[in-house]
Structure 1
Amino acid sequence: MKGIFTEFKEFIMRGNVMELAVGIIIGGAFTAIVASLVSDIINPLITLVFGGGSVEGLSIPVPGTEQGINFGNFISAIINFLIVAAVVFLLVKAVNSAMNAGKKLAGKEDAEEAPAPTCPFCLEEVKEGATRCPHCAGVFDAPASA
């Protein structure tokens, strides 16, 4: 039984699990902010432009029932989603450009820019400086270079 608790403790203390937990907590708080932005600012602006009551109350009555199709709530959910998706997109884009800038400052270029040398016999990638192909055992006249 003690082994399970030890494994669980190791699992919880992993960096990626803690980062995920922090991300979920921040995401929940951010969702509350976006929901407030949509319901308190954007929806009143929509009703001001189009007139009428609140966007959440927009519905189409369904004959024979007391319920209707609440498309106003659906519109609010779509606006919430689009705002969250736009912010996540911008965040990922900023992180990617920061990582690329960091690589350039460190002098590391993308591996895709410099193609790996290939074997002239089987056309498989080989390490630079190899004199023999590890795939087909072909012997090179000169060490492999890109």
Structure 2
Amino acid sequence: MLRKMAGEFKTFAMRGNVIDLAVGVILGGAFGQIVTSLVNDIVMPPIGRLLGGVDFKDLYWKIGDYKNGAPAPVPESLDSVRAAGAPVIAYGQFINIIINFLIIAFCVFMLVKVINRLTEGRKKEEPIGEPTSKECPYCLSVVPIKAVRCAHCTSELGATAGA
């Protein structure tokens, strides 16, 4: 029984679509790290500089007191406030994650757009031929275009019957 299950699992795991999915997940994770680095290291520093030297990672709202009445840490950064035990809303990190999402969504949009354009090009290249069938006006069955009698209801298909 165990051997049979192992064989079934091997068959399942070696299917093309499972391997493709695994490769996609791995590449997606790597792409996510690239986008995170792009946002944190390239996009956000100039924006922070334009806004007066703000580091978006350290933007937060303190929503409670420090643990056991501890004094406020100096300097007050997000990490030091969290280490002192105060609950915070880290909206700066949320802004970074939103920008990450928008960049990834835009990249996926562009990828889908390119794939659609390539697929559309293939469809347009196929020649559209003359119709090879028509509909019987009596029984609505599909019959060959040159038929003079319907094979389904045996009605005569004259010049008035057509596709």
TM-score for both structures, normalised by structure 1: 0.75
- Cα offset, 1:53, TM superposition: 2.9
Amino acid at match of 1:142: L
SS where residue 56 of structure 1 aligns? helix
Q: Is the aligned partner of 1:67 residue 2:82?
A: no
Q: Specify whether residues 43 and 5 from structure 1 end up closer, same or farther in structure 2 by C-alpha distance, changes over 3 A only.
A: same
Query: Does the CA contact (< 8 Å) of 2:35 and 2:100 recur in 1?
Result: yes
Question: Which residue of the partner structure matches residue 38 of structure 1?
Answer: 39
Query: Does the CA contact (< 8 Å) of 1:57 and 1:72 recur in 2?
Result: yes
Q: Which protein has the larger Cα radius of gyration, Structure 1 or Structure 2?
A: 2
Which aligned pairs between 1:19-38 and structure 2 lie closer than 5 A? 19-38=20-39
CA distance in 2, matches of 1:121, 1:72: 70
Query: Does the CA contact (< 8 Å) of 1:61 and 1:67 recur in 2?
Result: yes
Amino acid at match of 1:103: K
CA distance in 2, matches of 1:23, 1:51: 40
* Larger RCO (alpha carbons 8 Å, 6+ apart): 2
Query: Does the CA contact (< 8 Å) of 2:62 and 2:87 recur in 1?
Result: yes
Which aligned pairs between 1:125-144 and structure 2 lie closer than 5 A? 127=142, 129=144, 131=150, 141-142=156-157
SS where residue 58 of structure 2 aligns? coil
Amino acid at match of 1:4: M
TM-score for both structures, normalised by structure 2: 0.68
User: Gaps (5+ residues) in structure 1?
Assistant: none
Q: Is the aligned partner of 1:93 residue 2:108?
A: no
SS where residue 142 of structure 1 aligns? coil
- Cα offset, 1:129, TM superposition: 2.6
Aligned identity (percent) is 41
Query: Does the CA contact (< 8 Å) of 1:47 and 1:55 recur in 2?
Result: yes
Q: Specify whether residues 4 and 55 from structure 1 end up closer, same or farther in structure 2 by C-alpha distance, changes over 3 A only.
A: same
- Cα offset, 1:63, TM superposition: 4.4
Query: Does the CA contact (< 8 Å) of 2:136 and 2:142 recur in 1?
Result: no
Q: Specify whether residues 64 and 99 from structure 1 end up closer, same or farther in structure 2 by C-alpha distance, changes over 3 A only.
A: same
Q: Specify whether residues 3 and 108 from structure 1 end up closer, same or farther in structure 2 by C-alpha distance, changes over 3 A only.
A: farther
Query: Does the CA contact (< 8 Å) of 1:129 and 1:145 recur in 2?
Result: no
What is the Cα-based RMSD across aligned positions, in Å?
A: 2.9
